[in-house]
Structure formats: C-alpha cells, structure tokens
Amino acid sequence: MTRTAEKFLALLEIVNRLRAPDGCPWDQKQTPQTFKQYLVEETHELLEAINDDDPSHICEELGDLLFQVIFLNNLYQEKNLFTLFDVIDSISAKMIRRHPHVFGNQTVESEQELHRQWQSIKSQENARKEQPRHTLGSIPKSLPALRRAQRVADRVAREGFDWPNLSGAVGKAGEEFQELREALSSGNREQIQEELGDLLFALAVVARKADIDGEEALHDATNKFTTRFLSLEKRMLDQGKRFADLTPDALLDAWQRNKTEPQSSPEND
C-alpha cells in the first residue's frame, strides 16, 4: 500500500470516528442539508487560495475540501444509499466513457469537435437513463448569478443560438442599457429590476463572445476598486478627513487623483 493510500484510509477513519456515537457532538448532528453550506464556503476559500497563487494555502484548502467531500459521502453511506467505492467507480467510468479520444481509438481535430463529442456522449447517457435531453438542465441554478448567466449563454450558443459577431452582442447590451435608463426614469422598481437583470445578462453574453470569464473580470474589478478605496480612505484618515466632509465634486476629484498616484497595500497595514 502506498503512503497516499494509507493517508487516505486514515482520513476515512477520522471521519468515521467523528460520526461515531462517542465522537464529536457537532459532527454527529450534521445532515446533508446542514452540511452543504460548509461545502460551498470551503470551495470559495480554495478559489481564493488559487487566486492568491499560494501553494501552501492551496494545499491546506484542498485538504479542507477533500474532508468535506468524504464527510458528505459518509452521511449518505450511513443510510446505505451509496458508498465511496460507488462514487469513485462512477466518476472513473464516466471520465473514461467521455474521453474516447484518450482511452479509446477515436480522434478529434478541434476543440469544437471535442465539445460536440462530449455533448453527444452526455445525450446518449441521458437516453439510457430515460431522461429527456435538456439543453440547460445540467447547469446548476445555485451557481453565482454571473457565472450561471455566462454558462447558459455558452450552452445555447453551442446549439446555434448566438450572435454572429461580438458587435451584435455589444449592440444588444447598448439597447438593454437604454431600456434601463427609461425604467429608472419611470421610477417603477419592478421594471428597474427586470431591465437591470436584462442588462447584466447581455453583458454576460458580451463577455462570452469576447472570450472573457465574466466572473473573474468582475472579481478583478472589485479587487481594484477595493484597493483604491482603502488607499484613499487611509490617506484621508492621515489628513484627519472623512468622506462625509467632502462635497460630491471634491470626493470625485480626490478619487481621480488617488487613481493616478502609487497604490499602497492598506489591507496589510
């Protein structure tokens, strides 16, 4: 047995011990519904570690996520619904089945052909399960809204429902922005929300057409704003000022000047 296998089995025993009658009271009371929030949190912590490109942090967060997966599996295994063997066997068979160009004798000439092959195999799987093929059925509704929008736009584009070029998508976003302006003028909150949603979706389509990950782009923009805001806040505190003390024009001027000056790292102060 390899050291990795030994460590994996030891982790399984740790989870079993935590769930045992004489184990941890907190772990004993968990259910799939109560535990799923921690799975989401750990996933986001891993994503943040990857964004920071910190190998030791990534290693730690991967361990946390692995524990979450094993623990969640245990909750179902205790009910004799399935085992970890079933989980591993299922994903192994699926990956081999969906990669005939790797594990079989098929060949693919392009990424587009690879996508078509993947979707064709999924359709065959659904047919065997007697499940009707639904173009958007496999996209989780629980995804972050922007990422889900871009996934939906990408999926329907594979079916031919797409703008012929980027300018068409940009033009549609312009139309949606004008409709939002009109809704804002009306003061109708429901209409404003609907038009704002339409604009955000249209921008997700623009991101897809431009081959940009909209979720990452928004994270980058938020991080940039956060850095600039904290830098400006620190400078104002050093001068004994508050944002509320400035007029809108003075605040905008301070913001513009702060953008052109070297940025410190106030998060680390």
Residue 268 is predicted with a pLDDT of: 45
Q: Is residue 135 part of a domain?
A: no
Residue 120 is predicted with a pLDDT of: 83
Q: Is residue 158 part of a domain?
A: yes
221 in the same domain as 190:
no
10 in the same domain as 61:
yes
Residue 126 is predicted with a pLDDT of: 74
Cβ proximity of 129 and 109 under 8 Å: no
**CB atoms < 10 A from the CB of 201, how many?**
20
Q: Is residue 138 part of a domain?
A: no
112 in the same domain as 74:
no
Q: Is residue 140 part of a domain?
A: no
103 in the same domain as 91:
no
Q: Is residue 199 part of a domain?
A: yes
Q: Is residue 27 part of a domain?
A: yes
Number of domains in the chain: 4
Angstrom distance (rounded) from CA 142 to CA 11: 29
Which stretches in the chain have pLDDT values below 50? 266-269
Instruction: For the full predicted model, state whether its pTM sits above 0.75.
Output: no
Q: Is residue 139 part of a domain?
A: no
The CATH number linked to 21 is 1.10.287.1080
117 in the same domain as 179:
no
**CB atoms < 10 A from the CB of 138, how many?**
11
Q: Is residue 137 part of a domain?
A: no
Residue 174 is predicted with a pLDDT of: 97
195 in the same domain as 149:
yes
167 in the same domain as 89:
no
102 in the same domain as 87:
no
156 in the same domain as 115:
no
- Angle 145-158/189-209 helices, nearest 10 degrees? 60
Residue ranges making up the domain that contains 228? 216-268
149 in the same domain as 106:
no
Angstrom distance (rounded) from CA 193 to CA 182: 12
104 in the same domain as 41:
no
Residue 183 is predicted with a pLDDT of: 96
Task: Kindly report, residue by residue over 1-24, the tens digit of the pLDDT.
Answer: 799 999 999 999 999 999 999 999
The string over 12-43, giving b where at least 16 C-beta atoms fall within 10 Å of a residue's C-beta and e elsewhere, is eeebeebbeeeeeeeeeebeeeeeeeeeeebe
183 in the same domain as 222:
no
